[in-house]
Amino acid sequence: MLDNAIKIFDLSGKVALITGASKGLGKAFATALAEAGATPILLARNQSELEKTGKEIAQINPQCTWYAADITKEIEVEKVVNKIIDQFGKIDILVNNAATGRINLPPEETSLDQWNFVIDTNLTGMFICSRAVGKEMIKQRAGKIINLASISGSIINKGVHGGSYEVSKSAIAALTRALAVEWAPYNINVNAIAPGYFLTEPNIKFFEANQDFYNQVVDMVPLKRIGNPNELKGTVIYLASEASNFMTGSIVVVDGGYTLW
């Protein structure tokens, strides 16, 4: 019985493209999928960080491959997708993780360039990747797309600025639902993970520089701590596996209870 229960999460033979995979949550997602048996294809802009992470994950799955590309550039994304199809013949899983962080400025001090950078990276880049991979999944009549949303898509975070970030994450939730409906006839599941505060590199630096804010966040989390990126591994495996076959358009909140208040 236990073997059958575990088998439902087995991703052996699956090909997974993970964006923003060189560090942070993207690295945790790529590692988790490799550990579950999938062949991870890593995409990020920083070649040196990407190569370092790729070599680490190749210790889990030697077929791990990586490409440097900017998700906001259509041509670069399409080239990567074509290379993956040429090499592996399919893409079973897409994890749209790549994003830029919060620009911690009040709206009246935010330039249009700063606003556009956040929206273009977090939202438009995700659409570009989803469209390129979605075309292949439609041909395959199967696929799993997992978008990285945020609790910031449903709340306004206390103690920080940056409306462009909240707006981008809220739009990701809408994009997830829209694609879920559009691509359901092709057996493509589209869901999103909405994390709370996690100990990624940017967050650690921000917390170190803003101890009062760190204390405030911990106080607002019922579990009284910040999440570890590895604590999202189970969620991404679930959404990538057949265990979630009857689930689409959902936003899975993983925040230690932050949004319960």
In a domain, 42, yes or no: yes
Residue 163 CB-density burial (10 A; 0-12 exposed, 13-18 middle, 19+ buried): middle
Provide the CB-side half-sphere exposure for 143 (13 A, CA).
29
8-state DSSP, 169: H
In a domain, 216, yes or no: no
In a domain, 203, yes or no: no
> Which helix (H) or strand (E) is 80 found in, with range?
helix 74-88
In a domain, 177, yes or no: yes
Amino acid at 109: E
Q: What is the full per-residue pLDDT of the chain (261 aa) written as tens digits? A: 446 778 999 999 999 999 999 999 999 999 999 999 999 999 999 999 999 999 999 999 999 999 999 999 999 999 999 999 999 999 999 999 999 989 999 999 999 999 999 999 999 999 999 999 999 999 999 999 999 999 999 999 999 998 999 999 999 999 999 999 999 999 999 999 999 999 998 899 999 999 999 999 999 999 999 999 999 999 999 999 999 999 999 999 999 999 998
In a domain, 189, yes or no: yes
Q: What is the DSSP string of 83-143?
A: HHHHHHS---EEEE--------S-GGG--HHHHHHHHIIIIIHHHHHHHHHHHHHHHHT-E
Q: Which of 67, 165, 214, 258 is catalytic?
A: 165
Is 258 one of the catalytic residues? no
* Number of folded domains that form the chain: 1
Q: What is the DSSP string of 8-34?
A: TT--TT-EEEEETTTSHHHHHHHHHHH
Strand 188-195's sheet: what is its strand order?
65-68, 39-44, 15-19, 93-96, 143-148, 188-195, 251-254
In a domain, 212, yes or no: no
Domain with 127 in it: 2-198+228-252
pTM (2 d.p.):
0.96
Structure tokens at 53: 């992470």
In three-state secondary structure terms, 64 is: coil
Cα(105)–Cα(80) distance, rounded to whole angstroms?
Answer: 34
In a domain, 261, yes or no: no
Domain of 191, CATH number, reads 3.40.50.720
In a domain, 260, yes or no: no
